[in-house]
Amino acid sequence: NSSIVSIVIPDNIVTGDVVLKDMPNLTTVTLRNNITLSADAFSGCPAFEKLIFSDAVTAIPDNYLINNTVVKEIVLGSNVETIGVSAFENCTALENINLSNVSEIGSKAFYSCTSLYAVQLGDKIETINESVFEGCSSLSELTLGENLKVIGNSAFSSATNLQVVHFPEGLQTIGDSAFMISGLQSVLIPDSVKTIGDMAFCYTISSKYFQLGKGLEYVGSMAFYGAFNTVFVVPKEVTG
């Protein structure tokens, strides 16, 4: 096993847990289908970095790789459109993933991926579901797609290193606790946003500036609670 550097799991293996352990020089594994990986996949593989899903894979199942502490990078094939609920929850070594071709991400898909620092979301995503990136405390580079309509409850809660987000025009809803305890410093809410949920920006204690959009119709309870020393700009069109 010591000489193996990369492995390709062929598409004719379709059932059962794949056990990949104790390969000290293994750096890359390519999957040609979404075969189930064992819970301790890649343990004893200190050089391992990259898990690649080929273009043959179209969906990542629910609970696919939970609590993994080894995988640093996940590369999705161009045909992966769906990532299931809690698919990569608590993958604490994961640092980077490009989701530009994905159209749906299940709740808690990347919950508590504490090393994840860069996320790229594409134009196919209209909704970021509940708690997708909650607890991603290293997240500092975030790209949102132009067709995003809804940021769900707690989607980026406790993303304490997230200082800047460029919200696209067309966004309509920012859910409850969506950015609670985040590191946001300056926030420009587009005019398209109609609803900001309860505690949406609660305890963004690093914030300096909030500009609300003209189309805002509802602001939830404690939406900006704890945003001390923050300048708020409220358009005259926003009343109540």
| Maximum CA extent, the chain | 68
Distance of CA 162 to the CA centre of its chain: 12
Distance of CA 96 to the CA centre of its chain: 10
Residue-wise pLDDT for 149-200, tens only, equals 999 999 999 999 999 999 999 999 999 999 999 999 989 999 999 999 999 9
Give pLDDT, residue 196. Answer: 96
pTM of the entire structure?
0.91
Q: Which residues contact 236 (CB under 8 A, 6 or more apart)?
A: none
For residue 3, what are its two tokens? 């000489």
Q: Which residue has the higher pLDDT, 49 or 123?
A: 123
Q: If you ran DSSP here, which 8-state letter would residue 58 be given?
A: -
